Structure 1
Amino acid sequence: MYDVNTHDVRRFFAHVWQHRFTPLQLDGLQQKALRILEAHQEYAHYLENIEQYLDHTWTPEQGETNPFLHLSMHLSIQEQVAIDQPFGIRDIHAQLCAKHHDDWVAAEHEMMDALAETIWEAQRYQRGLDVNNYMTRLRKLIQLGQEDNARINPHEVPLSDQISMRE
């Protein structure tokens, strides 16, 4: 696991933005982040003045969306799609992109609601992410219902099985 804090995430995106004119110097993850940043130019002000926004709090009550959370959710979805985990997310992403005439940003914005709701639920009930609820939410976006067979959530795998999987 990574020990990443809010400042690290914000500086990561600002660093990528600063290197947007030399993308070959960026690693694979940074290049994905750059693609996301280029699609969200409205956040340039935050990225170019990162020191002012390291401790800033965006609140829904004030009608604000945290730009770094938004960017991070895009990156999370793209990483999930790249490795097709949870299984089937790549196909859902492709179908949503097709629905939006190859607009991956619009597709991922739809998917973000499902991810945000799943994360919120896990935090509220102090448990791991429920991959079944997440996939059901995503499947509804393409007019599919719940899957026939429930998946095992990673946090539900017994420790002894986790250890034997590593060996």
Structure 2
Amino acid sequence: MFAPSQLEVRRFFCATYRKWRDGAPLIPMELIAADWIREHPEYHAELADEAAALAAVYSVEEGRSNPFLHLSMHLTISEQHSIDQPHGIRQAVDLLAARRNSLHEAHHAAMDCLGEMIWASQRSGLPPDGHAYLDCVRRKATS
């Protein structure tokens, strides 16, 4: 399993932003990331300054959104959708996108479920519950 460090993730997104902005060729994962970067212009300034990005601390108390976490969650959901893992996530995200009339909004709703699953796993010490995650996305898609 690929488990990049926080700094590697930040470097990846900063480099992808730089290559996308400059019109340089992108590898497949960078193409997906660039699509989500394009959807989030509010992050462009942070992605443009790699040194500051590597040093930045994003705390809930400060109310700062972590662009790297947010973009990573978009990538995660995109990958899950492409391989349909957990099984059924593709259909659930597609239905959610149709109901919200926006893939981007569907991703944001699915992120709530993904974050909930990760938080529950960390809190309980148990593995992430893919079924609970999928059920959460399905509920959002049908409500």
Interval containing the TM-score (normalised by the shorter chain): over 0.9
Question: Residues of 1 paired with 2:141 and 2:17: CA distance?
Answer: 33
Q: Supply the AA of the counterpart residue of 1:123.
A: Q
Q: Could you say which residue in structure 1 is the equivalent of 2:23? A: 22
Q: Could you say which residue in structure 2 is the equivalent of 1:160? A: none
Aligned length: 142
Question: Residues of 2 paired with 1:98 and 1:138: CA distance?
Answer: 13
1:61 is paired with a residue of what secondary structure? coil
For CA contacts below 8 A with separation 6 or more, give which structure has more relative contact order: 2
* Aligned Cα root-mean-square deviation (Å): 1.3
Q: Supply the AA of the counterpart residue of 2:53.
A: Y
CA shift, 1:22, in A, is 2.4
Query: What TM-score, normalized to structure 1?
Result: 0.81
Q: Supply the AA of the counterpart residue of 2:58.
A: W
Give the % identical residues.
35
Q: Could you say which residue in structure 2 is the equivalent of 1:124? A: 123
Q: Could you say which residue in structure 2 is the equivalent of 1:162? A: none
CA shift, 1:127, in A, is 1.9
**Deviation string for 1:106-162 (max 9, x for gaps)?**
110000000000001111112211111111111111227xxxxxxxxxxxxxxxxxx
Structure 1: which 4+ aligned runs deviate by more than 2 Å? none
After superposition, residues 1-167 of structure 1 pair within 5 angstroms as 1-20=1-20, 21-22=22-23, 25-101=25-101, 103-143=102-142
- Structure with bigger helix share is 2
Query: What TM-score, normalized to structure 2?
Result: 0.94
Question: Residues of 2 paired with 1:96 and 1:142: CA distance?
Answer: 4
Higher alpha-carbon Rg:
1
**Deviation string for 1:48-76 (max 9, x for gaps)?**
11111213211111212211000000000
Question: Residues of 1 paired with 2:134 and 2:7: CA distance?
Answer: 30
2:55 is paired with a residue of what secondary structure? coil
Unaligned residue ranges in structure 1 (runs of 5+): 145-167
Unaligned residue ranges in structure 2 (runs of 5+): none
Q: Could you say which residue in structure 2 is the equivalent of 1:157? A: none
On the 8 A contact 2:93/2:141 being kept in 1, the answer is no
